[in-house]
Amino acid sequence: MRETKNFGALGWRTLALAATLAVTAASASAATVAITPGDPTWSSIPGENNAGSSTAITGAAPISGNGSLELTGDRTRFSMGNYYNPASNLGLLDQVSQLTYSWMVAVNSSNPYNVDYTPALRLHIFDNGVRSELIWEGAYNNVYGNMVKGDLYSSGIADNFYRNVSGSGVTLSNGSQVNHTIFDWASGASDAGVQWYSSSAYVSAISVGDGSGASGAYHAFVDDVTFGINNSLTTFNFEVTASAVPEPASIALLGLGLFGIAATRKRKSA
């Protein structure tokens, strides 16, 4: 039985967004795709994991079915698409409606940042030749001080992403970091009169992993990366074998819409 934990008070705007996207999720086509070891759909780009670090689909801590993506060490990346290749195109940014995932920090994990340090979820974008990332991190979604190692959590469709532009760094507005939901970024969010993306911006990749400096003792698990684009929702379920039947994507996504940034937590041992 899952216990739902809300990481923060939801304002009216967040509730309205969650309700709107829940209806969208319920009406969109939904599919769950099992990603097993060796599946070329998701992989680590050579050289992207730091020396001694690794990303691998294992059965060490099954999350949805019989496996999950296991992250060990600092600066790990596991991706669909290639965020360095402009020819890698998963669709227009303004057609993206959702990007969520589930994660669990192992009980034996440690890092120099924070006990609540989470893996990051990234949407990689090219816009007129400029490469950028929209990044979900626990630090900007009321996770710090609330997470328990060994428990399972899920991000929500009303969570915040910040932007990092290659060569320019983190996007700021009036000196403050700009945070928006994926839906707002994709639908043309602007701040102080600045439009951050053009209508030709497109998604080159999706990735999960932890950042540089997390240390070799960092250990976490990721599963159920859900990507919504062109009125279609796909959940990528990391499995040791494809025999398990995961929770129907449409039900899971409707739950995410209703709870917004609420996090699902389930105690497991890792």
- The CATH fold assigned to 3-265 is Jelly Rolls (2.60.120)
| pLDDT score of 28 | 62
Q: Which of 181, 248, 192, 216 is nearest to 74 (CA)?
A: 216
- Spatial separation of the C-alpha atoms in residues 138 and 159, rounded to whole Å: 10
Q: Which is it for the CA torsion 108, 140, 262, 65, positive or negative? A: negative
Does residue 142 contact residue 5 with C-beta atoms inside 8 Å? no
| pLDDT score of 190 | 81
Q: Which is it for the CA torsion 74, 93, 42, 115, positive or negative? A: positive
Q: Which residues in the chain show pLDDT less than 50?
A: 1-26, 244-246, 248-270
The 10s digit of each residue's pLDDT in 50-105 is 999 999 999 999 999 999 999 999 999 999 999 999 999 999 999 999 999 999 99
Cβ-Cβ contacts under 8 Å for 122 (sequence gap 6 or more): 83, 133, 134, 135, 136, 205, 206, 207, 208, 209
Domain boundaries, the chain: 3-265
Does residue 200 contact residue 127 with C-beta atoms inside 8 Å? yes
Q: Which of 95, 57, 55, 92 is nearest to 75 (CA)?
A: 55
pTM score of the predicted model: 0.82
